[in-house]
Amino acid sequence: MTTVTTRTVEYPADGLTMIGHLALPAGVDRRPAVLLGPEGTGLSGVEPTRSPSWGT
């Protein structure tokens, strides 16, 4: 199984600062990542706990 690092990130969207959850596999070379952005109601507790498995 691949080691995945997760962190909260801020990014601009429509003039606002949004907060998302980023999951990155270990390594220094280019690899895919998963960025979870908020829905209309925002991120719940479910997305951050699932995203490490999505990044593998």
| pTM beyond 0.85 | no
Question: How confident is the model at residue 56, as a pLDDT?
Answer: 47
Question: How confident is the model at residue 31, as a pLDDT?
Answer: 83
pLDDT in tens, the chain (56 residues): 678 888 888 988 889 888 888 888 888 888 888 887 766 666 566 666 665 555 44
The DSSP letter of residue 38 is P
Question: How confident is the model at residue 52, as a pLDDT?
Answer: 57
Closest to 31 (Cα-Cα) out of 39, 40, 23: 23
Which 3-state string (H, E, C) describes 7-40? EEEEEEECCEEEEEEEEEECCCCCCCCEEECCCC
The residue with tokens 């908020």 is 38
Residue 28 CA to residue 43 CA, distance in Å, equals 28
- For residue 16, report the phi and psi dihedrals to the nearest 5 degrees: -115, 160
